[in-house]
């Protein structure tokens, strides 16, 4: 089966710009969550969507936002980019009718802010 797909894989932006990242979950998965990964910080939770509704949000500023579409695909947006936003952004999907706990990650979108 197809895994979680994230696009774009790599992108370079400058400070002040905005960026939109896309995530296509595993077919049938209804939950999509986003994580920011930076060296030494591990994976920090951004937000989670389930059935087009944001269910939970981490401790990130309002510049970070997201949404989920009726086909479970999700996008996240970062506005007014800062140097510190450079990171690997990981999307993970889960839930096909029962809670197993396992998250299935995509390969990430690596954002570099210059």
Q: Which residues bind other proteins (CB under 8 A)?
A: 4, 31-33, 35, 40-45, 48, 50, 55-56, 58, 90, 92-95, 99, 101-103, 105-108
Q: Which is nearer to other proteins, 11 or 103 (CB)?
A: 103
Provide the minimum distance between the beta carbon of 107 and other proteins in the complex, in angstroms, as a whole number.
5
Question: φ and ψ at 21, to 5 degrees?
Answer: -115, 145
* Nearest Cα residue to 19 out of 70, 68, 82: 82
Provide the minimum distance between the beta carbon of 35 and other proteins in the complex, in angstroms, as a whole number.
8
Provide the minimum distance between the beta carbon of 61 and other proteins in the complex, in angstroms, as a whole number.
17
Question: φ and ψ at 92, to 5 degrees?
Answer: -135, 145
Q: Which is nearer to other proteins, 1 or 102 (CB)?
A: 102
* Nearest Cα residue to 26 out of 112, 102, 109, 79: 102
Q: Which is nearer to other proteins, 4 or 21 (CB)?
A: 4
For the chain, how big is the Rg over CA atoms in Å?
13
């Amino acid at each position: 089966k197809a895994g979680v797909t994230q696009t774009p894989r790599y992108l370079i932006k400058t400070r002040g710009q905005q960026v939109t990242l896309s995530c296509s979950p595993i077919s049938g998965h209804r939950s999509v969550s986003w994580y920011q990964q930076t060296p030494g910080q591990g994976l920090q939770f951004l937000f989670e969507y389930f059935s087009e509704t944001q269910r939970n949000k981490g401790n990130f500023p309002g510049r970070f936002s997201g949404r989920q579409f009726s086909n479970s695909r999700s996008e996240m947006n970062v506005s007014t980019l800062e140097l510190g936003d450079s990171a690997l952004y990981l999307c993970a999907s889960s839930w096909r009718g029962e809670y197993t706990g396992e998250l299935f990650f995509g390969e990430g979108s690596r954002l570099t802010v210059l």
